[in-house]
Amino acid sequence: MNPLTHVAIIMDGNGRWGLKYKNSRNAGHKAGLITVEKIIKESIKNKIQFLTLYAFSTENWKRPKKEVKFLFSLLENFLKDKIDDLNKQKIKLKIIGKKNFSLNLNKLLIISEKKTSKNKRLQINLALNYGSKAELINAFKELKKNKETINEKNIRKYLQTKNIPDPDILIRTGNTKRLSNFLLWQAAYSEIFFEKKLWPDFNEKNYNKIIKNYKNIKRNFGNI
Ligand code: FPP
């Protein structure tokens, strides 16, 4: 049985869910947040060490201002309401991506990271304003600036995910089969699961089914 340390998720399908059931994309994001909470709980039950959630990509800025604003207000309220609870549950929050949001949100993110930095039960890596290409370009620039050799070990040192093992499982919900600039380096050997359900409909049962399937896969990492 494969050990399971890190699950990464592209939480796709909020917009379609919202339009279908509530005639509002934002209602889908709100519903998506409930799934986030369910999956955090289930990750703890499964003793998973790292959970990486793709909440906002570098490309998501192209969305209508109203939707972007709503997403950040959802995040802000979530952190204000829940960070103490997450801390009590010994969850560590880490932001991956560039923190260039409003002054208030930047501050809140930094405080939330600081508050939970010593926790060891589950680390949630929240990908915000994250894009793999930007991450890699930054790593190469650092290597050049510091005149370091280009090799795997040195590249990793400058990734946002340094000190985090690569994901064992990468899940994308929403019935779409692409990686959308998410963890392109880190997912080199991840087991990828494309899930038909839209993110707000994804539940503990679906998650556990994926975990069970993953545990029985023969992982070769290029060997035979
Ligand atoms: C992709 O669905 C989802 C997002 C871009 C946002 C993800 C946000 C959440 C799950 C809720 C907020 C989370 C936190 C942690 C505060 P989409 O909008 O691209 O869906 P579509 O493909 O149906 O349009």
DSSP 165: P
Distances (CA, A) of 56 to 63, 129, 223: 11, 5, 35
Buried b (16+ CB within 10 A) or exposed e, 137-173: eebeeebeeeeeeeeeeebbebbbbeebebbbbbbbb
pLDDT of residue 107: 98
Catalytic residue among 60, 87, 138, 154: 60
Asked about 119 being catalytic, the answer comes back as no
Nearest to 96 by CA among 60, 134, 47, 49: 134
Domain 6-131+169-215 has CATH 3.40.1180.10: yes
**Spatial contact of 15 and 32, defined as CB atoms under 8 Å apart:** no
Render pLDDT for 69-102 as a digit per residue (tens, 0 to 9). 999 999 999 999 999 999 999 999 999 999 999 9
Q: Write out the two tokens for 148.
A: 């370091």
Nearest to 40 by CA among 122, 112, 160: 122
**How sure is the predictor about 113, in pLDDT bands with cuts at 50, 70 and 90?**
very high
The closest residue, in CA terms, to atom 18 on ligand 1 is: 15
| Domain boundaries of the chain, sorted by first residue | 6-131+169-215
Render pLDDT for 42-70 as a digit per residue (tens, 0 to 9). 999 999 999 999 999 999 999 999 999 99
List pocket residues of ligand 1, CB cut-off 6 Å: 11-16, 29, 32-33, 36, 55, 60, 71, 74-75, 78, 126, 174, 199
Distances (CA, A) of 120 to 51, 72, 84, 99, 186: 12, 27, 15, 23, 22
The closest residue, in CA terms, to atom 10 on ligand 1 is: 32
Asked about 60 being catalytic, the answer comes back as yes
Q: Kindly give the distance from the C-alpha atom of residue 120 to the centroid of ligand 1, in angstroms, as a whole number.
A: 27
Nearest to 48 by CA among 165, 138, 152: 165
Catalytic residue among 12, 14, 26, 129: 12
Per-residue pLDDT at 224 exceeds 90: no
Per-residue pLDDT at 220 exceeds 90: no
Per-residue pLDDT at 39 exceeds 90: yes
Residues 6+ apart with CB under 8 A from 22: 28, 31
Buried b (16+ CB within 10 A) or exposed e, 191-216: bebebeebbbbbeeebbeebbeebee
